[in-house]
Homo-oligomer: A and B are copies of this chain.
Amino acid sequence: MKKLGALLIFLGLAPGVQAATMQDVLSKAAPSDWRPLDPENTLYLELPTGRVVIELASDFAPNTLANIHTLVRDGFFDGTSINRAQENYVVQWGDATEKKSQGSAKAKLPAEFTRALAGLKFSAVKDVDGYAPRVGFVNGFPVAANAKTNKAWLTHCYASVGVGRGDTLDSGNGSELYVVIGHAPRHLDLNVAVVGRVLQGMDLLSTLPRGTGPLGFYEKDTQRVPIKIKLASQLPDSERSHLERLRTDTPLFQQLVAVRRNRKDDWFQAPANHVDLCNIPLPVRAMKMKK
């Protein structure tokens, strides 16, 4: 398949496993350029088809994260389901019956859509962004910031996980979560609490049949996908997914951004001199286990 081989070279330069340049950068990474996941902030969303690994962003939305921790520890999500899959938008999960007890979790929470920029280790990129004065990363998560208002917030990129809410700002308590499966709906930024990011298993969510009801909700019980959610820390070591992420607060990561801003391989005739926040790769890999 000669021609497909050529095309491998072509489209291979963009997303997942990268050709020369990004690989060059990663090949120079020291062990300290990577960090493990925090088991206390790692969710395993278990589907019949496999495990989705979500990391919660511990620098943001503390009350919302505490409520999610409570819900997960109480087993709230176990036996609930994925209820919605909307094309080029989101997949959403929670209690379709809306009758399940939420135990000791709070029913309402103050809006945590932003936090203070001060005190954050914010690694900015220089690229212009239409939705915010500055964009960059905090501990591996894509973040926008406004220095004038001293605010920072997690952004809606592909694979970002957010908290569904109703019309009132305090109505998102973490019992309904969604993940972005399409072009970044950045207009949702500042309007809802983003809490984390899917690090592994996105394809298990993005390939779900789209719901035929309004907004992609499934119309029949049989279409809903049963789920359970556990914190990594609730499982014995042998049952955990041992992953590590490339740190985003390092010179090496800035090199990675640079080679994505301007691709340097033979295929690209017109480097972009720009990279969209949501197109910057956030590499995840299996940890090398000690023998």
Q: With both chains docked as a complex, state the minimum distance between the C-beta of A89 and any C-beta of chain B, in angstroms.
A: 4
Chain B residues near A119 (CB, 8 Å)?
Answer: none
In the bound complex, what is the Cα–Cα distance between A207 and B88 (angstroms)?
A: 11
In the bound complex, what is the Cα–Cα distance between A142 and B165 (angstroms)?
A: 32
Chain B residues near A98 (CB, 8 Å)?
Answer: 1-4
| Binary flags per residue of A262-283, CB closer than 8 Å to B gives 1, else 0 | 0100111110101110110000
Partner-contacting stretch, out of A179-187, A231-239, A244-252: A179-187
Chain B residues near A4 (CB, 8 Å)?
Answer: 83, 96, 98, 176, 217
Structural contact, B210 and A210, CB atoms closer than 8 A = no
In the bound complex, what is the Cα–Cα distance between A185 and B184 (angstroms)?
A: 12
In the bound complex, what is the Cα–Cα distance between A268 and B186 (angstroms)?
A: 12
Structural contact, B1 and A87, CB atoms closer than 8 A = no
Structural contact, B3 and A272, CB atoms closer than 8 A = no
Structural contact, B206 and A270, CB atoms closer than 8 A = no
Q: Which of B11, B83, B178 contacts A90 (CB 8 A)?
A: B11
Known: A89-B16, A183-B158, A191-B269. A171 touches B275 (CB 8 A): no
How many residues on A have C-beta within 8 angstroms of the other chain's C-beta atoms? 77
Structural contact, A87 and B185, CB atoms closer than 8 A = no
Structural contact, A164 and B7, CB atoms closer than 8 A = yes
| Binary flags per residue of A170-214, CB closer than 8 Å to B gives 1, else 0 | 010000101000111111111110000000001100111110001
Structural contact, A15 and B182, CB atoms closer than 8 A = yes
Check if A14 is an interface residue, CB within 8 A of chain B: yes
Check if A67 is an interface residue, CB within 8 A of chain B: no
Structural contact, A15 and B87, CB atoms closer than 8 A = yes
Structural contact, B272 and A167, CB atoms closer than 8 A = no
In the assembled complex, 25 residue pairs joining A and B whose CB atoms fall closer than 8 Å, in A order, are: A1-B96, A1-B97, A6-B165, A6-B166, A7-B92, A7-B176, A8-B215, A10-B167, A16-B89, A16-B215, A17-B215, A87-B206, A88-B159, A127-B130, A128-B130, A131-B272, A131-B274, A158-B183, A167-B267, A169-B269, A185-B279, A186-B272, A187-B260, A187-B268, A203-B210
Other than the given A87-B206, A128-B130, A191-B270, 13 more pairs (CB < 8 A) read A7-B164, A15-B86, A15-B182, A16-B86, A16-B215, A88-B206, A113-B270, A183-B183, A186-B272, A187-B272, A189-B272, A191-B269, A206-B206
